[in-house]
Amino acid sequence: MPDMPAPYSSRMEQVGLMTIESQKVPQGESDQGSKGRNRTINSIQILRAYAAITVLIGHSFLEVLHTNGLKPSFNVFPLVAGVDIFFVISGFIMFYTSADLFQKKGGSWLFLKRRFIRVVPLYWFFTTLMLLALVALGQFVRSTQLDIGNVISSYLFLPYAREGGRIAPILSLGWTLNYEMFFYVIFSVFIIFKRQFALAGLLITLLLLSVIGVILQPSLAIFKFWTDSVILEFGIGCILGYFYSTIYEKKSLNLAIFFAIAGLCLLILMRNIDLPRLFIGGIPACLLVLGGLLLPEKNDKKFPAFLLLLGNASYSLYLCHRFVLRILTIAMSKLSIPANAAVPLYVVLALIISIPVAVLVYRYIETPMVNVMRKKRKSPYSKAEAA
pLDDT of residue 35: 53
- Determine the pLDDT at residue 147: 85
Query: pLDDT value at position 37?
Result: 53
| One-letter identity of residue 118 | R
Instruction: Specify the higher pLDDT residue, 269 or 13.
Output: 269
pLDDT of residue 334: 86
pLDDT tens sequence across 222-271: 999 999 999 999 999 999 999 998 888 889 999 999 999 999 999 999 99
Residue 21, strand partner residues: 12
User: In the structure, what pLDDT confidence band is assigned to residue 39 with cuts at 50, 70 and 90?
Assistant: low
3-state secondary structure the chain: CCCCCCCCCCCEEEECCEEEECCCCCCCCCCCCCCCCCCCCHHHHHHHHHHHHHHHHHHHHHHHHHHCCCCCCCCCHHHHCHHHHHHHHHHHHHHHHCCCCCCCCCHHHHHHHHHHHHHHHHHHHHHHHHHHHHHHCHHHCCCCCCCHHHHHHHHHCCCCECCCCCECCCCHHHHHHHHHHHHHHHHHHHCCCCHHHHHHHHHHHHHHHHHHHHHHCCCCHHHHHHCCHHHHHHHHHHHHHHCHHHHHHCCCHHHHHHHHHHHHHHHHHCCCCCCCHHHHHHHHHHHHHHHHHCCCHHHHCCCCHHHHHHHHCHHHHHHHHHHHHHHHHHHHCCCCCCHHHHHHHHHHHHHHHHHHHHHHHHHHHHHHHHHHHHHHCCCCCHHHHCC
pTM of full prediction above 0.75: yes
Q: Where are the domains positioned within the chain? A: 12-385
Query: Is 26's pLDDT higher than 50?
Result: no
- Please determine, for residue 141, whether its predicted confidence score (pLDDT) is greater than 90: no
Q: State residue 317's pLDDT score.
A: 97
pLDDT at residue 15 tops 60:
no
Averaged pLDDT score across all residues of the chain: 86
Percentage above 70 pLDDT, the chain: 86
Per residue in 91-105, pLDDT (tens digit) is: 999 999 898 999 999
